Amino acid sequence: MIVIADTSVISNLITVGLESILNELYGEVMIPPEVERELLDWHASIPHFVAVVAPSDQDAVMLLEEELDSGEAEAIILAIEIHADLLLIDELKGRALAERMGLKLTGILGVLLQAKSAGLLDRLEPVLNDLTQMANFRVSAKLRGAILKSAGEL
């Protein structure tokens, strides 16, 4: 499975000490250089299972940068270029654009649900609490309830 990630999913999981979930679910995860730079702004290193791959079409990246930040733009173009099976992205504007471009995507909440389903997590609620408190991850009460219900915790 070819998986490309934007910054937020990996960064938030590193912050709460659960980045290994990505490796266990997907094996190698690819990120573009701008995402690597953003991760290294906040973390001492990137996980060993993350490979940095640059998108080739810099003109396409620049076009997307008119609407998105550089990391999101590079991740979307890279996902298109290498026919990724999945794009990990949380930001609403980036998600909407990626969907319009035909990419299959999920965010951190989808990753956590998949991890619980795979038996990698016992409960999601403490992870959501950690994300909120440690990583300043914002999730509406309605979405939080829906995720916990999907996980069988409500």
Q: Hey, what are 45's tokens? A: 């290193």
| pLDDT class of 154 with cuts at 50, 70, 90 | confident
Say if CB 79 and CB 4 are below 8 A apart. yes
CATH number at residue 7: 3.40.50.1010
Specify if 91 maps to a domain. Answer: yes
| pLDDT class of 69 with cuts at 50, 70, 90 | very high
Triad 137, 141, 147: Cα angle to 5°: 80
CA-based radius of gyration for the chain = 15
- Name the one residue in this structure whose structure tokens are 């550089």: 70
Specify if 130 maps to a domain. Answer: no
Look at residue 78 in the predicted model and tell me its pLDDT.
98
Containing domain of residue 96, as a range?
3-108
Specify if 75 maps to a domain. Answer: yes
Specify if 146 maps to a domain. Answer: no
Check residue 102 and report its DSSP letter. Answer: T
Domain count, the chain: 1
Look at residue 86 in the predicted model and tell me its pLDDT.
98
Look at residue 70 in the predicted model and tell me its pLDDT.
96
Specify if 149 maps to a domain. Answer: no
Among 94, 65, 66, residue whose Cα is nearest residue 5? 94
pLDDT tens per residue across span 93-146: 999 999 999 999 999 999 999 999 999 999 999 999 999 999 999 999 999 999
| pLDDT class of 81 with cuts at 50, 70, 90 | very high
pLDDT tens per residue across span 3-51: 999 999 999 999 999 999 999 999 999 999 999 999 999 999 999 999 9
Among 71, 66, 68, residue whose Cα is nearest residue 40? 71
52 contacts: CB under 8 Å, gap ≥ 6: 30, 31, 32, 33, 36, 46
pTM, full prediction: 0.94
